[in-house]
Amino acid sequence: MDAVNGLLSGFQTAITPTNLFWLLVGCLLGTLVGILPGLGPPATISILLPLATGFDPATGLIMMAGIYYGAKYGGSTTSILMNIPGESASVVTCLDGYQMAKKGRAGQALGIAAIASFVAGTIGVIGLTFLAPLAAKVAVNFGPPEYSALMLFALLLVIMLAGDSLLKGFISMFIGLFLATIGTDLFSGEQRFTGGEIELAGGIEFIALSVGIFAIGEVLVNLEEKTQKPLFAVPKKFRELLPSGADIKRSTPAMLQGGVLGFLIGVLPGAGSTVASFVSYIVAKRTSKHPEEFGKGAIEGVAAPEAANNSETGGAMVPLLTMGIPGSGTGAILLGALVLYGLNPGPLLFSEHSDVVWPIIASMYLGNLALLVMNLPMVPFFAKLLNTPYKVLYPGILLISVVGVFSVNFSIFDVWLLVIFGLLGYVMRKLDIPPAPLVLAFVLGPIAENSIRQSLLLSDNSPMIYLQRPISAALIGLAVVLLLLLTFGRKSRKVREQMLESEV
């Protein structure tokens, strides 16, 4: 009952005209930030932080939270329309969202992304409202060994995005892991694989890598086509641009499981929306009646990662508010904002500052609804942008890519990296090597490396620490089982296929 009473009082504060106005401003800014690759929620919130300090704490934090989850909504737009993932969590959405756009179903993909975001975002906020204390206790049990095992399991899951060739999946993943090692070693302070380039001391910029691999690589491949027609066929009738009842029915299980998984993974500090989105995608593929359609334009392949990506926001707020542990760069900025307002995150935050915490949580319910209302009417407009000849569309994609990459650090070096990774993406497509494992391994690699090295420091270099802790031992066991399934399961499937072909 305390949660219900707190939530009701939070709504009373959140629905005041001032708070509603700044909530809508935050949601709109977040959506724009999500659509335009490069700037990102952390930079946007940082820029607006001086402005927000002049507000009441509840008002300022409501606006910043709106930017946070608004960006999750907007991130799907360029992923679906242009194969440009604005952030790492949007990589998985590219797999089926862009394929749906190429089949003339961009409107349905955008619509289901908005609906899944609303449904799962609401699930995440409900979890934050009623399960925060319990979820916080689970997160406390995760130390470096548990994160090491979780990342090992996650990296093996990445291979499942490889399609039919396990070898090509491993090649893609190892390229990503190697690229992740470039930069400065956090433990020794020494530079690794930088070739003396000072610009690489901080590592490779993710936006340059992801946009190059996906967007530029796709443009280069499609430039080989001789057709002068628009790349995408877009229906003219409004109702044909939105998801049908059958689409929503088919996507509902993916939305619900993505909402639950995204919240649970979001509770784990450091796991983040990237892990949540692709774990949800894999689960949706494994439980689907049509797994062969994934990667070719399955609508569940859009619903699942978008759902997990948005519900993760509610989960990430749990350790942030109850323990002061941010799970991402955006979470770190929000933590700084809390401290700036004189609020100390921890178990006593809900009791000592309920007049601030509950309005923030209540505003997230309202924000999810506002984003749905704002985004669905824009679906036909965005979809019709694709009814453009490639001579116009491709230069636009290249311009957005270059500007987005340059705006991160205002570095020409990053633009050259964009060109290099664009060529790499082109070569990978010509060799039929999947790009998704590379990008996801690049994101997960540093987390895995740091966790493993911290675990070995704690155990005096003894790997037995992983088996002495129940959670890490269970995760390693699951990883071994998954590796066996990946190795022998595919072999047995190929044998069955060959037997069927011989009988025919």
With 0-12 / 13-18 / 19 or more C-beta atoms within 10 angstroms meaning exposed / middle / buried, residue 2 is exposed
Q: Is 252 domain-assigned?
A: yes
Mean pLDDT of 51-73: 82
Closest to 206 (Cα-Cα) out of 334, 339, 344, 86 = 86
Amino acid at 306: E
Q: Return the sign of the alpha-carbon dihedral for residues 127, 132, 133, 135.
A: positive
Q: Is 149 domain-assigned?
A: no
More confident of the two residues 253 and 344: 253
More confident of the two residues 179 and 36: 179
Mean pLDDT of 49-57: 75
Going by pLDDT thresholds of 50, 70 and 90, the confidence category of residue 495 is very low
CB 319 within 8 A of CB 117: no
- For the cut 70, the answer to whether the pLDDT of residue 501 exceeds it is no
Closest to 442 (Cα-Cα) out of 210, 179, 186 = 179
Q: Is 231 domain-assigned?
A: no
CB 260 within 8 A of CB 253: no
Backbone angles phi, psi at 2, to 5 degrees: -60, -40
Q: Is 455 domain-assigned?
A: no
For residue 419, what pLDDT is reported? 92
- For the cut 60, the answer to whether the pLDDT of residue 235 exceeds it is no
Question: Inter-axis angle of helices 272-287 and 144-159, to 10 degrees?
Answer: 50
Beta bridge partners of 184: 191
Domain count, the chain: 1
Q: Is 200 domain-assigned?
A: no
Write the pLDDT tens digit of every residue in 151-187.
787 777 777 666 667 788 888 889 989 998 898 887 7
Q: Are strands 191-192 and 183-184 parallel, antiparallel or unpaired?
A: antiparallel
pTM of the complete model: 0.72
With 0-12 / 13-18 / 19 or more C-beta atoms within 10 angstroms meaning exposed / middle / buried, residue 435 is buried
Q: Per the structure block, which two tokens stand in for 451? A: 């966790």
Alpha-carbon gap, residue 471 to 475, rounded angstroms: 6
Q: Is 8 domain-assigned?
A: yes
Q: Is 408 domain-assigned?
A: yes
Q: Which domain holds residue 328?
A: 1-140+246-412
Write the pLDDT tens digit of every residue in 252-299.
999 999 999 888 888 776 667 777 888 888 888 888 888 888 888 889
Q: Per the structure block, which two tokens stand in for 231? A: 């790349």
Q: Is 21 domain-assigned?
A: yes
Amino acid at 178: F
